[in-house]
Amino acid sequence: MTPIDHPAPPPPTGTVPYEKGFALSLLRDMLRIRRLEERCAELYGEGKIRGFLHLYVGEEAVCVGALHALAVEDNVVATYREHGHALMRGMGMGPLVAEMYGKQEGCARGRGGSMHLFDRFHKLFGGNAIVGGGLPLAVGLALADRMQGSASITACFFGDGAVAEGAFHEAMNLAALWRLPLLFCCENNLYAMGTALERHEAQTDLCVKAASYGMPAVTADGMDVVAVYGAAKEAAARVRQGAGPVFMECRTYRFRAHSMYDPDLYRDPVEVEAWKARGPIHTFTARLKAEGKLTEDEFLSLDAAAGAEVAEAVAFAEAGTWEPVEALLRDVYFPEGGAP
């Protein structure tokens, strides 16, 4: 099948309207995610990480910009491409990598793996291996907060592929009907696994779908952390004020294949390289340098710190332990008299 052309827009430009400290925190977090995921790809090749592994390389501006705009008490529901979201919610990189190793020092004792990172303390209510599977959960969390009079909102991340799922429409309908405190964050990377947006959506303007449920919809450049942060901050404020749900589409692009098993034959390599020129890290770095908010030495220091954190996390996972066989039935419910 001939690949569909998705030409890359011009790279993000414009002033970075933040003081230096905050601007560098955005860059630091994108670097942390990028360096972690690059190392995870290597560990997968070494057989240290097994099962499925879906990398976020290229999309870092979305979760960094959006989650910086949220409060610590807000709920976050993510997809199977959620390593960056976990880091941004405050999960330690050590338990994160240990989880991918399958070690019991992981955030879910090694039972969840890459696609099921979970941290109740930091209000990360799971990655989810099912496309669109987090949407009903997000509605439930938002409803619970509404019923309890909480000021928290829920941010639910999902890809463009989830928009074709029935759960998406059910979630949008209920959230709008009940005016729930819910921010729908669509990470539109133009491909649902290996299927181009134009081949799985009759209406490719995803904001039109949201508008059909009577909720505000906004599109942000998902390759620009400034654009994402601004859109998410405004959207979250609206939701927090009790105005009901908001749909935010972030147009982004993953530089790697859907997963480590994917041969990536459905995209033209020329297209991939064109989008890499819009990479959120190097374009943001260039803007900061042009404004005198970042020097090359400061960049190298941030990058080295990210690399050191990754090395420490890998060492933590390597030193971790396997769950003993006698603990495998822990948390398994057996009806009375049904236990082995």
In the chain (340 residues long), the average pLDDT of successive 10-residue segments reads 90 96 98 98 96 96 98 97 98 98 96 96 96 98 97 98 96 98 98 95 95 96 98 98 97 96 94 97 98 98 98 98 90 76
Question: Domain 20-316 classified CATH 3.40.50.970?
Answer: yes
Residue 246: other Cβ atoms inside 10 A: 25
For β-strands 195-196 and 75-77, DSSP reports them as unpaired
- Per the CB < 8 A criterion, the answer to whether 249 and 220 are in contact is yes
- Pull the structure tokens for residue 154: 């829920």
Q: Which residues pair with 154 in a beta bridge?
A: 75, 182
249 phi/psi in degrees, rounded to 5: -100, 125
**What pLDDT shows up at residue 340?**
61
Handedness of CA 185, 189, 195, 198 (dihedral sign): positive
For β-strands 191-192 and 195-196, DSSP reports them as antiparallel
Of the candidates 287, 189, 183, which has an alpha carbon nearest to the alpha carbon of residue 236?
A: 183
**What pLDDT shows up at residue 1?**
73
The model carries a pTM of 0.96
Displacement of CA 85 from its chain's centroid (Å): 5
Q: How far apart are the C-alpha atoms of 249 and 157, rounded to whole Å? A: 10
- Per the CB < 8 A criterion, the answer to whether 292 and 93 are in contact is no
Burial tier of 328 (Cβ tally within 10 Å: 0-12, 13-18, 19+): exposed
- Per the CB < 8 A criterion, the answer to whether 101 and 320 are in contact is yes
**What pLDDT shows up at residue 328?**
83
- Per the CB < 8 A criterion, the answer to whether 115 and 80 are in contact is yes
Torsion from C-alpha of 59, 62, 64, 70, nearest 10 degrees: -160
**What pLDDT shows up at residue 198?**
96
- Per the CB < 8 A criterion, the answer to whether 40 and 49 are in contact is yes
Q: What is the DSSP letter of 179?
A: T
